[in-house]
Amino acid sequence: MSVQQSAESGESGGAAERGGAEDGRAGATATAGTEAARSAAGTASGTSAGPAEESQAKRPRKKRPFWQELPILLVIALLLSLGIKTFFVQAFSIPSGSMERTLAIGDRVLVDKLTPWFGAEPERGEVVVFRDPGGWLEGTPTTSGDDVMGTVQKVLSTVGLMPSADEKDLIKRVIAVGGDTVQCEAGGPVKVNGVALDEPYLFPGSTPCDNDPVGSVTVPKGKLWVMGDHRNNSRDSRWHHNETGDGFVPVDNVVGRAFVVAWPLSDWSTLPVPDTFDKVPAGAAGAPIWNAPEAPGALALAGVVPVALWRRRRSARKGR
């Protein structure tokens, strides 16, 4: 073999080796790229995680100490209490003896504030809390809130955890509603629409009307005639009959119905409607006023339904 052929052969061999090396580097590059792509795909799909991420996922969540959670729980409790007081039930304290013996001074009653939201209105015989119609509480002393306890009571009463000491509210029994005629004569029982009431709830020794007879009174629509169970110690509708408003309480002033004596536990009792009121017929206005708003709606619905059906049938015929 000549020298020239050997050189050419060596060059060819070197070129082949360089080509093999380059192929090897290309293969290694392709393999690395494939592994990187697989790793990226596994990370994107969530099928693979690093040791640090797995350790963090397995680590339990740290709980807050109770002293950090306590303020949050208190705020939630206060908000719930405020909501219940505003829309559902509120506690009231009895400041006077006008409702004895049914309610004693210092009793706490729970008042239903939810039912009026659905359109229900007071009925005869119910014990109701209502806002002052005007001048009924003049001269009545109120508890001062200047001291520490007074401030605490104001705060707690705001959220419904304690009865208010100075709210302008009263509590009496509903004797008659709009359209009823009340007769209150000395020496006789109270009569509503001609029916004499049997009133076992009166304070012992108290007379139905003797201390403040008003004769015959017709209650206007949307008003109430209220009286205390301790008739000789109650400034009720009779007392204010000759004043502005004629002693009537607007239905809109009613906060709600007292349904239970909640405190003290020794006085715990419900406050049902006495049976005697079931015997009273409807007044001159016909049906009781709390049912009156429903009648026009029912009549309107009865008139609209046939018209709607007739128009629907007519449209169907035209479509044919």
Residue 218 sits at the vertex; the CA angle it makes with 294 and 185, to the nearest 5 degrees, is 140
Nearest to 94 by CA among 163, 174, 173: 163
Pairwise CA distance, residues 277 & 124, whole Å? 6
Residue with tokens 């906060």: 255
Q: Provide the annotated active-site residues.
A: 98, 172
Please report the DSSP string for the chain in residue order. Answer: --HHHHHHHHHHHHHHHHHHHHHHHHHHHHHHHHHHHHHHHHHHHTS---HHHHHHHHSPPPPPPHHHHHHHHHHHHHHHHHHHHHHTEEEEE--SSTTTTTS-TT-EEEEE-SGGGGT----TT-EEEEE--SSTTTT-------SHHHHHHHHHHHTTSS--SS--EEEEEEEEETT-EEEE-TTS--EETTEEP--TTSPTT--SSTTS--EEEEPPTTEEEEE-SSGGG--STTTTTTSTTTT-EEGGGEEEEEEEEEESGGG-EE-PPPGGGGGPPP-TTSS-TTTTTHHHHHHHHHHHHHHHHHHHHHHHHHH-
